[in-house]
Structure 1
Amino acid sequence: MSATFKSIRALQPLLDRVLVQRFKAETKTASGLLLPSSATSSPLPEATVIAVGPGAPNKDGAIIPVSVKAGDRVLLPGWGGSPIKVGEEEYHLFKDSEILAKIQE
């Protein structure tokens, strides 16, 4: 199940949710050969953070902020996330705790 929106600006994640856009797999090699869709069907584990929620409350009610910010590159699991379609672009919502790592450049 995926949601569809007209603009990504219409979407603000809640609590500890993180909106990401996965990197697209290359459909052409460096030498110019076209790759078949079967070779690029699995999603890449890297993504760019688009927006983050304010954080989730702990058992005492204090807000624990999200560990990433918009613009960060992150490593994602091969499963999970809620897909969101905006025009032809696809995004995913993950919980902060599901993100595996932040990629330092």
Structure 2
Amino acid sequence: MSLRPLHDRVVVKRIEEEALSAGGIVIPDNAKEKANKGTVIAVGNGKALDNGDVRALAVKEGDVVLFGQYAGQEVKVDGDKVLVLKEEEIFAIVE
């Protein structure tokens, strides 16, 4: 199964943080914060404007983006967890 987001929606796969602290201590999964960084794996066709035009999204597949901790909706696709969020929930593109 694959996802094709609609309109101004974006599908993002979280980039997980290291399981070791700087001091070499293993951090258990339940103590880690959710990553606020991910890779865009699919984008919608754009945002519909009031005049009927469609504005293309600023992000594209492969971009690494930053987003809020509670942004989007987490869904499972082929056993992998991904986020579906609106473009406006993305803070920045990492360059």
TM surpasses 0.5 = yes
Equivalent residue, structure 2, for 1:27: 19
Where in structure 1 are there 5+ consecutive unaligned residues? Answer: 1-6
CA-to-aligned-CA distance 1:6-60 (integer Å, 9 cap, x gap): x3xx2100000000011112223466532123431x2111110000001021010
Matched residues in 2 for 1:100 and 1:15: separation?
18
What is aligned with 2:54? 63
Runs of 4+ in 1 over 6 A off after TM superposition: none
Structure 2: unaligned runs, 5 residues or longer: none
Q: Secondary structure at the match of 1:97?
A: helix
Aligned amino acid, residue 34 of structure 2: P
Identity of aligned residues (%): 36
The SS at the match of 1:93 is strand
Structure 2 length as normaliser, TM-score?
0.88
Distance 1:15 1:56 in 2: 5
1:20-99 alignment to 2 at 5 Å? 20-29=12-21, 32-40=24-32, 42-99=33-90
Q: Indicate the SS of the match to 1:100.
A: strand
TM norm structure 1:
0.81
